[in-house]
Each structure stands twice: as C-alpha cells, then as structure tokens.
Chain A
C-alpha cells in the first residue's frame, strides 16, 4: 500500500541543466508575477474594471481570480514538461 519511489534518478546534476532550469523557472515566475501584479493593482485602483461583466454574466474580479489559479497550474505544467525535455536532451548528448 505504500507508494515509495524507488526508480533511479532521471536527471543528472549537470551545472548547465541546473542553470537552464533556474533561468526557465525565473522567466515563468516573472510571467506569473506580471499577471498577479495586474490583479493586485486593478483590485486596489480600479474597482469599476473589476465590476464589469466579463464572461457568462460573471464579473472581471471572479474571471481574473479563476484565471490566476488556472495560470499557475498551466505554467507549472509547462515548467515540469520543459525541464524534463532538457534532462532528456542532456542525457542523449
């Protein structure tokens, strides 16, 4: 019943891989940060925008909030996928 992870490491600790992952993470972080900052600033400075209807009769405040949650997941998947591809590339070299 215990799900332990015994498979060997799929990712060698290559400095170039480490650097590339870090760069990728940083870029995605800034993408998210821009959207998050936009949300925080809109909330605090432009209530009328947040009140406006966006999709299906639901206002911008809710659509933006849901989008931030969805965006976090999408970026996380992109990051995970791109890191794996890089690792595979490293190994094939």
Chain B
C-alpha cells in the first residue's frame, strides 16, 4: 500500500528526538567516570530502572511484530507475549541477585568473578557482541521498514537516521541517557497502548455495511461478476477475470456453509516481464493532480470537476487517446492538461463477517465480553499464497486471498504458518513450538542489554524491586497486545502485505493524532532498544575484551573514551547490517537472537550458580559450544535457506528452525562434561 507520510508523526517524532538529545547533552557533563558511563553510577532509582527495563525489552518486534501477528493470525502472536514475559521469572528468581552481587559492569564480570579468568571474559565478551549484533539486525531493519510508510524516507535513510540518533545518545552520556530514553519510551508505550485498547473496546465490533472497503473486499462477489471468471480456465486454484481494459482480477473458489459456490475476490501484486508492477491489475498510484503527460497508459483519471472516469491510452504525437470504463475510445486530449489521477492500490482489509445473533454492531464492550464476542464471530482474515503464479505473458503474480475464519479458530494456537505444526498429528511438527518456548523462557535472562541494567541500581533490593516494576509494566503491555492485535484484525485498515504496520494503521482508523503518536512511539521503541544494545556491546569491548582479556591497563577516563569509540563502531556496523538485511523478516530474527543468547549464556550462568563442580574450562566450553552450535543451526535452517540465501527451504539440513531445544541442553551437557573432565586439574 502507498502510505501518505504524516506531518504530525514527523513532528511528534522530531520533538521526541530533540528532547532525548537535549537530555543526553545535559547528562553528558555529569558522566565522566567509567562507573557512570557504563552503569549510570549504580544510582538509578528502582522505579525508573523498572520502567526502563520495559523500555529496553519491548522492542519493535514486541510492539509491531506481535500486534501484527495477532492481527493476521490471532492467538499465535500471543504465544510470543507469554514466552517473552515468562523469561522475566528466570531473570528475577535465578539471575538477578547473583549477577548484581558478583558483577560490576558486564555479564562476563559475574561469570568470571569466581575464577578471575581472562578466558571466560573473552568467551563471554564475544558472546555478548554476537548476541547484541544479532539482536540489532531486526531492530535496525524494523527502523527502516517503519520510516518509509510513516515519515516518507527511504529504507537506508531511515536506518542511518535512527543509527545516528542512537549513537549520539550513547556517546554523550552512555547508560544515563540510555536509561532515561528507555524510561520515557517504556512509559509512553504502556500509556498509549492503554489508550488504544480503551478506544478499541469502546468502538466494539462492527460488521461494515456499504463501506467502500468491504464492498470491494467482502466475499460476496456476485455471480454476475464472477460468471466471467468462472468461465475461464483456472490458474492454479484461481479464476482470473480480465475486463475490457485488460485488467486482471483474481477469484478464489469457496463454498458457503449452505453449499453454494462463491468466488472470493483476491488481491494481487504482479511483476510484468518489462519490470512494471501492477497492483490488483493496475499500476499503483496515489490520488493527485498531475499534467496528463506525467500519467502512464492504463492510469484511471478524471477531468477536473467532472464525475466520469477515463483510462489513458497510448500517446500519439502531442495528444493522448483515452477510453471510457468499458474500453471504448472517448477522445483525445493534450498532454499539458491537468487532470485528477485516481488512486489505485491494494485495498485495506480486516473485517468482521458475522457477529453472534446476526447483529451488525455490538456497541462498547468490556475486556472479557470483547474476547468472548470475537470467539463467537467470523472474521475475514487474509493470507499470502506462497506459490507464485506465472501467467501466459510471463508476469509473476503474488496472490493474497481472503479466508473467512471462525473466532474459535482465531483464539486458538496453531492458526499461523509459524505454529501450524500444533494442529498436525505427531510429535515432530510440534518441536519448533516447544523449542521456541524454551528459548524465550531462558533467553530473556541471557540477553546482555537486559542483564547490564542490574548494575544501574544500588543494591539487590533495588534490583528486585525494579524487576517487579518491569514485570508489571511488561506483563500489562503484553495483555494489551491481544486487544490491539484483535482490534487491528477488525479495524478494516490493515495492509495485507505488511503485518508490521497493523498497530499504526489501527491507530489511524481511530484518529490521526493517535496514529502520529503511535508511529512516533514505534520509532522511539527502536531508539531505546538499540541504545541499550550498543551500551552492552561497548561495555563488553572495554571490560571483557580490552581490559579483561588483553589486560590493557586503562585509566577511568580512557575506559570511557574506548567505550565511546566502541559504541561508534558498533553503531556503524548496526547501520550497515540494517541496510544489508533489508528484506529479512524481523520477527523470527528476534526468536533466533533469543535462541543464541539462551544457548550461549544460560547454561554457564545456571551451572555456575547451582553446581559447585563447575570449572573455568567448563564455562568457556559451554559458552562457545552453545553459541557456535545455535548459530550454525540457525544458518542451516529452512527459514535461512528461504529468506537469506534464496534457496529451496526443503534442501535445508536442519529439521526445524528454532535451535533452542537441542542447543540449550547441548550447552548444559558441555559445561557438565568439560567440568568433570577438568575438575581434577582445577583442584590440584
């Protein structure tokens, strides 16, 4: 879909950036020591830290990805919400206190505390860098994906803009400014998600009538309309109707519950052999006033102040032929004449087909009655046909087709392609789900940018209290994701090609101001998380690698300087990766980052805390084996084949995508085995 950049969104976002940069420069004068640069001097109030946890943790993937997944498939997105939150239980009950007690700056500090080993610092430092960079990719790609529809810049511009702002925030005042950016972002996110949810409940559920979007998108494509389609030979599972103007429309045959045949109108994006891109059979245009010579053949237009619609033909010397809506020549016109070019685009979707008791509108609903009404209704969901259709003229078409889906299926796990295995027989299809749930559970407490936040408060009690605040705000937000996602599903405003835009488009369907604010928050979401990751990575460079492993003696001041330089380098790498990986799907990259973090860090951390027999070598081996095995698995999985290398996914070596269920136990086994083997040496 073509998005009109919102001036208000740009204004709100600019105001936020100006404010955070102002804050960063204000704190810059006060953050001279390494302690204040890397850990905010351990002086952050527990409440601020707790909300900053939420700001740090609720990344673009959480906000946009989960809401989008729920809007497209229902309950399955909520599985991520549950897994992401469960991880905090591990962080609080198992990791928080020892980490706070044993370490000072980085996660490696705590691991190496018992042995004072440069080897552990090296392994943990590398793992911090790998996990941070892995986690940075989806954040930066997300920034670029957002910036185009919301602010109207290109992908690379968006990535550079976000990268530059974040690097400035981090280099000026390190963890102090990062904390306040995250505090601000966390608060805004929770407050405005609540407002959005209240608006959704207040609007209730409605079956649209005579709405132009539904008239076009609804399944009630009349028989008169589809007779023509049905008389043609099928292309794949579709009937393709071509009108007098040569525009193709796809229909998918389906049956009504009473047994009647119907033809569901689909949406298409076709790439012609000559490189032209057609959307629903026409060139994609926005509505604007233009000189006729700037239009292209096939464009629909009106003469100023006239109601009739015409289609432009080919130019002949200085004049252009044009046709009426049934393809009959209607006249010639001079190329200099200004006309109204009509919009031609994918139409927005997301509608309720049937409410319980054949009602047309529910009116305002409560939190429980909203869910139970969804469960008893039927929605029109849309899916992308993964098999592309090659037509006779060589053009390749991607089809998005509507699927009337019962609420009982929407509010059950297993409706999305990601978790479709849950509705299949046997154990193997379910492994991907089990593996992901394990990785999410153990991953949170292994994410370096989350762990370093424990060093910004003064003691264990403050660490505990801030985690409780974090769990409260994050948990509350995740409950809201279900309402926001289902609200988007029924908003009539969704773009079938871009699930990440579901939440902002939902806001737009409520009010333009809310859209501007939600879009601006989506950006600051990226800023907050990226800043946290860059601080974590630069801390690892200084404390784990430079002073920890290479034993370079640095003064306090030099540590800050090296840290700032590290932040700059990591920032530049993040920008480059964000541009290179533009096409990658953001959500599963995050799942992978969790898997790598959980496989590399959790086994060593847990064994160190719970088993006295753990040795230095066991920890190093555990980190390296967990990290390398999970990375290798991810890179050889079907998803990587499909989305990274463009190879057929069935050639992939690994049987499923999420490595956690194999590589996390492997990490534990390595720590135990190597510790047992090296135990004698350690005691002697």
Contact = CB atoms under 8 A, between A and B. Distances in A.
A77 B468 contact: yes
A36 B434 CA distance: 12
Given A5-B44, A47-B412, 10 more contacts: A4-B41, A4-B45, A18-B97, A29-B94, A43-B422, A58-B368, A61-B413, A73-B468, A73-B475, A80-B468
B277 interface: no
A32 B91 CA distance: 12
B372 A22 contact: no
Given A47-B423, A68-B86, A70-B475, A61 B461 contact: no
A22 B98 contact: yes
Contact of B471 (A26, A43, A50, A76): A76
A48 to B, nearest CB: 10
A21 B94 CA distance: 10
A57 interface: yes
B560 to A, nearest CB: 19
B82 A11 contact: no
A58 B372 CA distance: 5
A25 B414 contact: no
A40 B422 CA distance: 11
Interface in B254-295: none
Contact of B93 (A9, A29, A65): A29
Interface in A1-41: 3-7, 9-11, 13, 18, 21-22, 25-26, 28-29, 32, 36, 39-40
B86 A32 contact: yes
A2 B622 CA distance: 41
B375 A58 contact: yes
B338 interface: no
A65 to B, nearest CB: 5
Interface residues of B, number: 58
Contacts of A5: 43-46, 457-458, 462
B101 A13 contact: yes
Given A59-B411, A61-B411, A44 B422 contact: yes
10 contacts: A5-B44, A9-B459, A10-B461, A25-B92, A29-B94, A43-B433, A50-B412, A57-B368, A59-B408, A76-B89
Contact of A57 (B93, B372, B467): B372
A2 to B, nearest CB: 8
Contact of B465 (A45, A55, A80): A80
A79 B464 contact: yes
B102 to A, nearest CB: 11
Contact of A47 (B81, B371, B422, B479): B422
Which 5 residue pairs of A and B lie closest in terms of their CB atoms, listed nearest first?
A57-B372, A3-B45, A25-B93, A29-B93, A56-B368
B468 A76 contact: yes
A10 B462 CA distance: 9
A30 to B, nearest CB: 9
B82 A39 contact: yes
A25 B610 CA distance: 12
Contact of B460 (A7, A11, A50, A55): A11
B475 A57 contact: no
Interface string B409-439: 0011110000000110000001001100100
B293 to A, nearest CB: 57
B90 interface: yes
B13 interface: no
A71 to B, nearest CB: 9
Contacts of A58: 368, 371-372, 375
B372 A21 contact: no
Nearest to A11: B461
Given A44-B434, A61-B75, A69-B85, A83 B461 contact: yes
B441 interface: yes
A84 B461 contact: yes
B88 interface: yes
Interface of B is mostly: helix
Contacts of A36: 86, 89, 441
Say what secondary structure dominates the interface of chain A: helix
Given A4-B44, A73-B472, A11 B411 contact: no
Contacts of B45: 3-5
B459 A11 contact: yes
Contacts of B462: 5
Contacts of B461: 9-11, 83-84, 87
A88 to B, nearest CB: 11
Nearest to A60: B412
Contacts of B408: 51, 59
Contacts of A6: 43
B82 A56 contact: no
A18 B478 CA distance: 32
B641 interface: no
B588 interface: no
A40 B376 CA distance: 25
Contacts of B609: 22
Contacts of B479: 66, 69
A70 B478 CA distance: 11
Contacts of A72: 85-86, 88-89, 471, 475
A27 B42 CA distance: 29
A43 B411 CA distance: 12
Contacts of A57: 368-369, 371-372, 375-376
A4 B462 CA distance: 12
Contacts of B372: 56-58
Contact of A18 (B75, B88, B101): B101
B475 A62 contact: no
A18 B460 CA distance: 10
Given A9-B459, A47-B413, A72-B86, A79 B472 contact: no
A43 B413 contact: yes
A1 to B, nearest CB: 9
A25 B609 CA distance: 12
Contacts of B430: 44-45
Contacts of A28: 89, 93
Which of B90, B472, B475 has most A Cβ within 10 Å?
Answer: B475
Max chain B Cβ within 10 angstroms of own Cβ: one of A26, A51, A73: A73
Interface in B42-87: 43-48, 75, 78-79, 81-82, 85-86
B433 A44 contact: yes
Contacts of A87: 461
Contacts of A22: 97-98, 609
A29 B467 CA distance: 14
Nearest to B467: A76
